[in-house]
Chain A
Amino acid sequence: TQLLEQSPQFLSIQEGENLTVYCNSSSVFSSLQWYRQEPGEGPVLLVTVVTGGEVKKLKRLTFQFGDARKDSSLHITAAQPGDTGLYLCAGLGGADSGGSNYKLTFGKGTLLTVNP
Chain B
Amino acid sequence: ETGVTQSPTHLIKTRGQQVTLRCSSQSGHNTVSWYQQALGQGPQFIFQYYREEENGRGNFPPRFSGLQFPNYSSELNVNALELDDSALYLCASSLGGAFSYEQYFGPGTRLTVT
How many B residues face the partner with a CB closer than 8 A?
26
Assess the A42–B90 pair: CB atoms within 8 A.
Answer: yes
Asked if B56 lies at the interface with its beta carbon under 8 angstroms from chain A, I say: yes
Residues from chain B with Cβ under 8 Å of A40 in the complex: 107-108
Q: Which residues 12-26 in A have Cβ within 8 Å of B in the complex?
A: none
Assess the A45–B42 pair: CB atoms within 8 A.
Answer: no
Complex CA–CA separation, A104 to B44 (angstroms): 8
Assess the A102–B40 pair: CB atoms within 8 A.
Answer: no
How many A residues face the partner with a CB closer than 8 A?
27
Asked if A88 lies at the interface with its beta carbon under 8 angstroms from chain B, I say: yes
Assess the B45–A104 pair: CB atoms within 8 A.
Answer: yes
Assess the A104–B107 pair: CB atoms within 8 A.
Answer: no
Residues from chain B with Cβ under 8 Å of A48 in the complex: 101-102
Assess the A45–B4 pair: CB atoms within 8 A.
Answer: no
Assess the A102–B106 pair: CB atoms within 8 A.
Answer: no
Residues from chain B with Cβ under 8 Å of A42 in the complex: 4, 90, 92, 105-108
Residues from chain B with Cβ under 8 Å of A31 in the complex: 101
Most buried by A among B4, B31, B56, B101: B101
Q: Which residues 85-113 in B have Cβ within 8 Å of A in the complex?
A: 90, 92, 100-108
Given A101-B100, A102-B100, A103-B48 in contact, is the A44-B42 Cβ separation under 8 Å?
A: no
Assess the A106–B56 pair: CB atoms within 8 A.
Answer: no
Which residues from chain B sit less than 8 Å from chain A, CB to CB?
A: 4, 31, 33, 35, 40-45, 48, 50, 55-56, 58, 90, 92, 100-108
